[in-house]
């Protein structure tokens, strides 16, 4: 049986205050796929369970770097900000 490894963690898990304005978070990372349709394309059969757009996914999105679901307040050492044009 394989052991799941969580790459990103929440601010709470890392002992950080929730009010940090400039802290890097997955919500503002270039690797986070904002398009919810990318979840359906990346996880075969997800649409069959009607959870691709449901409450079970909520604000989670796919991290294209780690290939895992991340919440907006998750963060990791590979954070790269979204470029502003």
Confidence check: pLDDT of 46 > 80: no
pLDDT at 1 (0 to 100)? 45
User: Token pair for residue 3?
Assistant: 């052991």
As a whole number, the mean pLDDT across the chain is 75
pLDDT at 43 (0 to 100)? 72
Confidence of residue 41 (pLDDT cuts 50, 70, 90): confident
CA angle, residues 30, 50, 68, in degrees to nearest 5 = 30
Residues 6+ apart with CB under 8 A from 69: 39, 57, 60, 61, 62, 63
Per-domain residue ranges for the chain? 23-75
Confidence check: pLDDT of 45 > 80: no
Q: Max CA-CA distance within the chain? A: 45
pTM, whole model, 2 decimals?
Answer: 0.62
């Amino acid at each position: 049986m394989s052991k799941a490894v969580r790459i990103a963690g929440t601010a709470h898990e890392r002992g950080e205050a929730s009010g940090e304005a400039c802290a890097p978070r997955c919500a503002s990372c270039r690797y986070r796929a904002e398009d919810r349709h990318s979840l359906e394309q990346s996880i075969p059969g997800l649409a069959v369970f009607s959870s691709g757009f449901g409450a079970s996914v909520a604000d989670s999105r796919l991290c294209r770097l780690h290939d895992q679901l991340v919440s907006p307040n998750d963060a990791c050492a590979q954070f790269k900000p979204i470029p502003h044009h």
